[in-house]
Chain A
Amino acid sequence: MDHFSLTIIFLFVLFLLLGSGVWIGLALMGVAAVGIVLFDKGFVGANLTDKAWDSASNWTLTALPLFIWMGEILFRTRLSEDMFRGLSPWMARLPGGLLHTNVVGCTIFAAVSGSSAATLTTVGKMSIPELRRRGYPEFMTIGTLAGSATLGLMIPPSLTLIVYGVTINESITQLFMAGILPGLVLAAMFMLYVACWYFLRPGQRPRAEPVIGFREKLANSRFLIPVICLVLLVIGSMYAGFATATEAAAFGVLGALVLAAAQGSLTWSTFKESLLGATRTSAMIALILMGAAFLSLSMGFTGLPRALAEWISTLGLPPTVLIAALMIFYIVIGMFLDGISAVVLTMAVVEPMVRTAAFADLGFDMIWFGIFVVVVVEMAQITPPVGFNLFVLQGMTSHEIGYISRTAAPMFLIMIVMVGVLVLFPELATWLPENLRNQP
C-alpha cells in the first residue's frame, strides 16, 4: 500500500480507539504500535518500553505529582473560608462589589493550585452561598466563577503547562513565568466585565455592603497571610531563581502541610487521602504521557507532522490566520478531550508548524504558544456540550448545563479577546521568561 493510504488507516485507528472509549494512555500506545507495524519501522516492543521508561522516569515530570499533592492537601483545609473573609472587605466597595472576590480569589488560589477544577471548587464552595445570600444575580455569580477558574491553569503552577513543557522539552520554569502576566491581564479583563455590569445594569445591584473601617479591613486581611506566604514561597522561589519548578513544588507541599497543620485540618486520614489521591491522578497523567511519547515516535514515521508543516507553508497564509484556525481546532478537540490529552495528542503534529520562521518573525515561540494553548484549551472547558468547569458548577449549583454555559458565554468572548491581545502583544508572555535572572 502507498504511504498515503497507510496514513489514513493510521488516523482511522487513532479515532476508533480513542472514540470507542479505550483509556486514553492505552489507546495511544495501541495506535502507535499499529503505526510502527504499518510503516514497518522496527521492533514495536523495544520501542514501546524505551519510550515508556524514558517518559516515566523523566526528572522534569516530578513537579507534576508534587503540585497535585499540594492541591490535594489545600483542598482539605479551610482555605476557601479564610480567603473569602480576608478578601471581601476590600472588594465590597469596588463597582461590582463582592463579585470581584470570585475573580481575585481565583487569581490568588490559581497561584498555589495547578488545576482549574480545584480552583473552581475551592473558591466557589464559599463564594456561591455568600453571594446568593447577599442577593447578587445568579447569572453573574456563576459566570464570573466559571471564567475566573480558568486562571487556575494560566497562573503558575499549572499542570497543563508542566505536561506541555515535558512533551516539547521546554523549561517548565520559563513556561510558568510566561503565564503570570497574561493571567493577570485576563483577571483584569474579568474585573472590567464585572464593573461594566455594575454600571450598565443598575437595577440588578444588590444592597451596598456596610462600610468597614480601614483598621478592621486590615485586621481581616490576616486571614490572607497563609495563602500569600504560600504564593510567595512557590512563585517567588522560582522567580528569584533559587528553585527549579520541581523544587518549588516540594516547597509547596511542605508549605501546604504546615498550613494544614496550623489550621488543625491535618489528620492522618486527610494526609492519607491527599497522598493516595495525588498518586492516582499522577499515575493517570503519566500513563497518558507514556502513550503520547510512543505515539509521537510513531507519528514521526508517518511523516504526517512534517508534511502538514510543509503543506501549510506552501499556502503562504499569514500566521495570524493560522493562529485563528488553530484556535478553532483546539476548541473542537476540547469538546471531546480534556486539556492535557488534547495537548499531548496534538503537539507532535503542531510543533513543527509553530517552530517555522513565519511564527518566529512575529515573536511567537514555543513558550508563547504554550500560553496560547492554555487559553484555548480552557475556552473549550466552558463551552457545551461537554466542558469540565460546567460539570463542576452543575454539581455545586444544580442549574442546567445550558444555563451555566450561557452565564459563561461572556467569559468565553473575553478569552477570545485575550487570544487577540496575545497575538498583538506576544511580549506579554515572552518578556518575563526572557528576563529571568540566574536560573538554577
Chain B
Amino acid sequence: MRTLRKVLDTIYLAGGVLGALFLICILVIICAQMISRWSGVSFPGSTNYAGYCMAASTFFALAYALNAGAHIRVSLFLSRMGRFRRFGEVWCYSIAALTMTFFSWHALSRNLQTRKFNFVSQGLDATPLWIPEISMTVGSAILAVALWDQLLRIVFTDHMGVASRDSMEIGD
C-alpha cells in the first residue's frame, strides 16, 4: 500500500516536472522562431510545435496542479456545509472522476485512430498527430487516476480532498 502511494505521488510530480520542461520548450521555440525570422533562416511549423508544447505542458501538469490545489472551484456552498462537507466532496470528486475517465478513454481511442490512419498535421510541420496527442492521452489518464485516488481516500479514510482554491481566489 505504501509503495503504491509512493509510486502514484512520484507519477503526479513527474507529470508536473514534465509540464514545466515543456513550458521551457515553448520559450525556446518562440525564441528560435524570432531568431530565424531575423536571420532569414526558415523554421517551418514553429507555431505548431509551440502549440504541441503548450498542450503537453498543460496535460502532463493537470494532476500535479490538482494535488497542489491549483484548480479552482466555487466553494461558496461547499464551505458552508459543515459536517456534511464530506458528502459534498464525494459528489464533486465523483463527477470529476467520471468526467475525466470518460475524457481519457476517448483521448486514448482518438490517439489509436490517428495512429492507425496516420493523420498528419495540416500545418507546415507535417507532424504525425498521434505523437503530440500522446500528451493528451497520458495526461488526462493521470488526472483521472489522481481524482479516483482522492475520491477513494475521502470515502475510506479521514482525508478531505485537496484544499483547492476558490474561484474567487485566482486573482486575475
A residues at B contact (CB < 8 Å): 17-27, 29-30, 33, 44-46, 48-49, 52-53, 56-59, 61-62, 65-66, 69, 114-118, 153, 159-160, 243, 246-247, 249-250, 253-254, 275-276, 278-284, 286-288, 336-341, 386-389, 391-392
A279 touching B74 by the CB < 8 A rule? no
B167 touching A24 by the CB < 8 A rule? yes
Contact with A along B55-84 (1 / 0, CB 8 A): 101110110111010111111111000000
Known: A116-B171, A250-B27, A337-B167. A26 touches B99 (CB 8 A): yes
B34 touching A250 by the CB < 8 A rule? yes
Q: Cβ of B50 < 8 Å from any Cβ of A?
A: yes
Q: A282-B58, A338-B72 are in contact. List 10 more A-B contacts (CB 8 A).
A: A45-B106, A58-B51, A116-B171, A116-B172, A280-B65, A280-B70, A282-B23, A287-B58, A340-B172, A386-B166
B104 (CB) vs chain A CBs: closest residue: A49
A244 to B102, alpha carbons, bound, how many Å?
37
A391 (CB) vs chain B CBs: closest residue: B169
A52 to B91, alpha carbons, bound, how many Å?
24
Q: Cβ of B151 < 8 Å from any Cβ of A?
A: no
Other-chain contact of A57, B16, B52, B76, B88 (Cβ < 8 Å): B52
Question: What's the minimum C-beta distance from B132 to chain A, rounded to whole angstroms?
Answer: 7
B31 touching A250 by the CB < 8 A rule? yes
B169 touching A338 by the CB < 8 A rule? yes
Q: Cβ of B110 < 8 Å from any Cβ of A?
A: yes
Q: Which residues in chain B, 82-105, are within 8 Å of chain A measured between CB atoms? A: 88, 91-92, 95-96, 99-100, 102-103, 105
25 inter-chain pairs at a CB distance below 8 angstroms, sorted by A residue, are: A20-B92, A21-B75, A22-B73, A22-B95, A25-B71, A26-B95, A27-B95, A53-B110, A56-B136, A58-B54, A62-B51, A159-B172, A254-B27, A275-B20, A279-B16, A279-B57, A283-B57, A288-B72, A336-B74, A337-B167, A338-B72, A338-B170, A386-B166, A386-B168, A388-B169
Q: Which residues of B contact A249 (CB under 8 A)?
A: 30
Known: A21-B77, A45-B106, A250-B30. A153 touches B172 (CB 8 A): yes
B residues at A contact (CB < 8 Å): 16-17, 19-20, 23-24, 26-27, 30-31, 33-34, 47-48, 50-55, 57-59, 61-62, 64-66, 68, 70-78, 88, 91-92, 95-96, 99-100, 102-103, 105-107, 109-110, 132-133, 136, 164, 166-172
Q: Which residues of A contact B171 (CB under 8 A)?
A: 115-118, 338, 388-389, 392
Q: Which residues of B contact A386 (CB under 8 A)?
A: 76, 166, 168
Question: What's the minimum C-beta distance from A276 to chain B, rounded to whole angstroms?
Answer: 6
A249 to B33, alpha carbons, bound, how many Å?
13
Question: What's the minimum C-beta distance from A202 to chain B, rounded to whole angstroms?
Answer: 36
Other-chain contact of B20, A46, A49, A276, A284 (Cβ < 8 Å): A276
A336 touching B167 by the CB < 8 A rule? yes
B58 touching A69 by the CB < 8 A rule? no
B54 touching A23 by the CB < 8 A rule? no
A389 (CB) vs chain B CBs: closest residue: B171
Known: A24-B72, A45-B105, A338-B72. A65 touches B54 (CB 8 A): yes
Question: What's the minimum C-beta distance from A374 to chain B, rounded to whole angstroms?
Answer: 10
Question: What's the minimum C-beta distance from B29 to chain A, rounded to whole angstroms?
Answer: 8
Q: Which residues of B contact A24 (CB under 8 A)?
A: 71-74, 167
Q: Which residues of B contact A243 (CB under 8 A)?
A: 34
A281 to B100, alpha carbons, bound, how many Å?
19
Known: A20-B77, A286-B58, A336-B74. A280 touches B164 (CB 8 A): no
- Nearest first, the 5 closest Cβ-Cβ pairs linking A and B are A117-B171, A45-B106, A21-B78, A57-B55, A280-B70
Q: Which residues of A contact B65 (CB under 8 A)?
A: 279-280, 283-284, 287
A422 to B118, alpha carbons, bound, how many Å?
51
B26 touching A276 by the CB < 8 A rule? no
B29 (CB) vs chain A CBs: closest residue: A62
A22 touching B96 by the CB < 8 A rule? yes
A56 touching B95 by the CB < 8 A rule? no
Other-chain contact of B136, A20, A53, A253, A341 (Cβ < 8 Å): A53
B33 touching A247 by the CB < 8 A rule? yes
B74 touching A19 by the CB < 8 A rule? yes
A391 touching B168 by the CB < 8 A rule? yes
Q: Which residues of A contact B30 (CB under 8 A)?
A: 62, 66, 246-247, 249-250
